[in-house]
A and B are shown apart, each in its own frame.
Chain A
Amino acid sequence: MEKTEGKGPLSGYRVLDLAGPLGLHCTKLLADMGADVVKIESPKGDEERNIPPFKDDVPHPEKSLYFLHFNTNKRGVTLDIEKPDGKAIFLELVRKADVVLETARPGTMESSGIGYQALRAQNPALVYAAITPFGQAGPWRNYKANDMAGIALGNLLYLAGEPGEPPLQPPGEIAYGMASTYGAFGIAVALYHRLESNKGQYIDVSMHECAGHIAGYFIPTYGYTGEKPARASRKGEETDLYDPYRTKNGYARIFIIPVEQWRRLVDWMGRPPSISGPEFEKMAYRRKHPDIVVGAIAEFCSRFTKEELYDEGQKRRIAVTPINTAGEFMNMPQTKERGIFVDMEHPAVGEYKQFGVVPRLMDTPGRIYRPAPLLGEHNDEIYRGELGMSADDLVALRAEGVI
């Protein structure tokens, strides 16, 4: 086993991870920053082991690429915390832990006898975080919500897709991601506070409230002006300056705010008379005349590849970006030079490229050093090595279905 020492600002901290999909990115952020995250799975394995895609499309609990990504750097044990022996082992782990993260329905941990108050009695310095769909209070607190439900209530789903067709979910789990990120931030603040106070605390994160932050400025704008945005068509009936433009090989976006960038674009385009007048220097005017502006830019973009537009546009200090596939992103010179992906190997998946650490702390960077755990991979290391149990104990606990 590799030591976590010297692997980032959270090395030396132990996190017990009871999270489902809603909190996986949270403990991954902590693990990537050097925390020793111990993932506690039920003896039959966590549900996210069933989430596709799978290596070679073969469904198998050790081949879920979803599980592989979100559990990098974590150690894994199996434990049935509902059983009395499982609970006792869990409490022993809590005594040596700094953080517990869970995503269970409010009240579940309490009714199992391992709620915050019970754990605090074991370890007063414990930072306990619960990330739940709606938080611990309010009329919807016991409702179920997945990522799509989160962004649906958060007004991001309503805006995605063609009018008349069903609203469309994003490719990644944005609401889970935002809730997990706020969870990690809250945990970091609590640990910072604990450096002086030596006191732990309880952290309550609502995915529903986190999701409300993602959609942008619609809540403040509606609250002030009553304006409410609609789902926008991309099929040509209406056009927006900032929608992607077709190029020779795909699409690119040109997003302009400062007037200098507008001038540079017009110069680059050879100052076409239709958009070179001073009135077009005002964004408000451009937005009022999308037919003229979009028409001229679209004609210009159709003459280049998206990479040509990207390289030349950025050279000219204009915010141009190519609309890339996942593979194109992995092969971008920028991606390679920054070493965004790390070569890893996993017993069931083989060699793969793991997405790296964000953000980058230059003196104490986090790093990727361990693939996601196999089911129960670290039972022996933790139960025997750290809790001092015997080999016989493990056999008996396994027979009982505790581990």
Chain B
Amino acid sequence: MAKLPLEGIRVVELTTGAAGPTVARVLCEFGAEVIRCETRLRGDGHRGEDPKLWNKKPDFMKLQRGKKSFTVNMQTEKGRKLVYELVKISDVLVENFGLGILEKWGLNWPDLKELNPKIILIRVKGMGCSGPHAADLTYGPNVGNTMGTTYLWNYPGATTATAEPRTQHPDFMGGVTGAFGVVLALMERKKTGRGQWIDSAQQEIGASILGPKYLEYSVNKREPRPEGNRSLIAAPYGPYPCKGNDRWCVIAVYTEDEWERFAGLLEKSGMKRDVKFATHFQRVRHKDEMDKWVASWTKQHDPYEVMEMVQGVDVCAAVVQDVEDQFKNDKQYAATGYLVRMNEPEAGEMVTENVPVRLSETPGRVRGFAPLMGEHTHEIARNLLGLSEEEIKKLDEEKVFY
């Protein structure tokens, strides 16, 4: 197999949750050796509360695939010293605990830089490492709250708090953005020989794609409100109901040429075109009526039929897929091998998402399953830390390797 571009880069991971692990996972796919420090004192949020299930969690697998697990009790001085030895021979430290934990462990930037001036530290925090709320505890579902996503993801005039799905969606773009920052710091290090630290604030990364909303506030002095599925530059626009229970297909018509082809398609199946929908301006004005007209056609068909027919006349259309559709009906995922099957040692077959960016010369890949709790502790102690079998046995007994 081709040499991976980050081969030779060693990453130590002191994390919980998802955003920190995602930074290291993305680096791992491109060749970094990732050593995840964790402890049996308590399963990580994604290993879960029940030790019997620690090695069988699909969410953990998605976050940790391809990494090594080094179980070390950071509450012991010996444990911390072993991690100091590890960071001395590593290139990157990823952490996302609450502010103060790394400091308590003696791994704050000034200390870390002493141990290894070449290391790059990335601190992934909900609110960043400075300001009055730097120490906030946040998880994925908290991140969109403070900066407007949760509020704005709703129907116009809604009486509920939000229509945002119950997912951790901000964790993933945050993780990839963090990995981007790490690679830039690695580039810089090639020039200067020095490492640096990176302050990666989850809410700021999520907010970075909401820029136009903040400009509406700062330029037009107006608070943006939830807009639902509104668009002024495309009509028809949005999910249209299809045959079946809760089945939908998104359609978006942007240009007059697209409209001609789309309306022609509907006419072919016997629909009568209303003169009221002749121009984009008219279609936006008569949106409710036009939506009904389009829906009366889409309702006659399965959502994939709608998608294929509409794409057949070169207009944007996409089935609102649930996860079962992604497995069974998504021909693109099937053709490109997006759903990767792996055999986890204890859990059996699991499925995960492939790397969505393909580099022709130095491609990344899913490099293996998620580590069992403590799977690589002895191997790392022996090969990287140079400990003898006797020392290892003692550290096991003292529950330093725990």
Contacts and interface: CB of A to CB of B under 8 A. Distances in A.
A267 to B, nearest CB: 16
Interface stretch (B196-204, B266-274, B390-398): B196-204
Contacts of A252: 145
Interface stretch (A76-84, A331-339, A378-386, A388-396): A331-339
B398 to A, nearest CB: 25
Interface string A197-228: 10101111110111011111111111111001
Interface stretch (B69-77, B79-87, B176-184, B371-379): B176-184
A311 B325 CA distance: 43
B90 interface: no
Given A173-B209, A353-B214, A325 B184 contact: no
Interface in B341-370: 341, 347, 349-354, 356-362, 364
A355 B321 contact: no
Interface residues of A, number: 152
B233 A51 contact: yes
A323 B316 contact: no
A278 interface: no
A171 B333 contact: no
A53 B42 CA distance: 48
B332 A56 contact: no
Interface string B144-171: 0111111111110000111111111101
B361 A224 contact: no
Nearest to A324: B146
Interface in A319-343: 319, 321-330, 332-334, 337-338, 340-341
A114 interface: no
A144 interface: yes
B119 to A, nearest CB: 13
B264 interface: no
Contacts of B150: 244, 253, 323
Contacts of A29: 177, 180
A149 to B, nearest CB: 3
A9 interface: yes
Contact of A210 (B178, B333, B341, B356): B356
Given A166-B239, A360-B199, A362-B196, A204 B213 contact: no
Contacts of A217: 58-59, 62, 168
A69 interface: yes
B198 A330 contact: no
A219 B326 contact: yes
A369 interface: no
Nearest to A234: B160
Q: Is the interface of A mostly helix, strand, loop or mixed?
A: mixed
Contacts of A25: 208-209
Contact of B183 (A53, A188, A364): A188
Contact of A158 (B154, B155, B321, B353): B321
Contacts, number: 490
B21 interface: no
Contact of A341 (B30, B168, B214): B214
Contacts of B338: 209, 212
Contacts of A334: 127-128, 131-134, 146
B317 A163 contact: no
A259 B297 CA distance: 52
Contacts of A242: 141, 166
B188 interface: yes
A169 to B, nearest CB: 5
A258 B179 CA distance: 26
A223 B339 contact: yes
A240 B166 CA distance: 9
B319 A153 contact: yes
B252 A135 contact: no
A17 B311 CA distance: 27
B209 A176 contact: yes
A2 B321 CA distance: 47
B49 interface: yes
B212 A53 contact: yes
Given A158-B321, A171-B152, A319-B139, A329 B194 contact: no
Nearest to A130: B358
Contacts of B350: 220, 223-224
Contacts of A352: 215, 218-219
B142 to A, nearest CB: 4
A210 B209 CA distance: 16
A121 B384 CA distance: 45
A333 to B, nearest CB: 5
Contacts of A338: 128, 130-131, 201, 204
A185 to B, nearest CB: 4
Contacts of A53: 212, 215-216, 220
Contacts of A150: 318
B336 interface: yes
B173 A152 contact: no
Nearest to B183: A188
Interface in B266-292: none
What are the 8 tightest A-B residue pairs by CB atom distance, in nearest-first order?
A: A223-B351, A69-B211, A149-B318, A209-B356, A159-B165, A171-B152, A220-B58, A244-B161
21 contacts: A138-B335, A140-B331, A144-B311, A161-B155, A162-B155, A171-B226, A174-B209, A186-B357, A203-B357, A212-B333, A216-B59, A219-B351, A220-B61, A240-B166, A258-B42, A321-B145, A324-B146, A325-B152, A338-B131, A338-B201, A359-B180
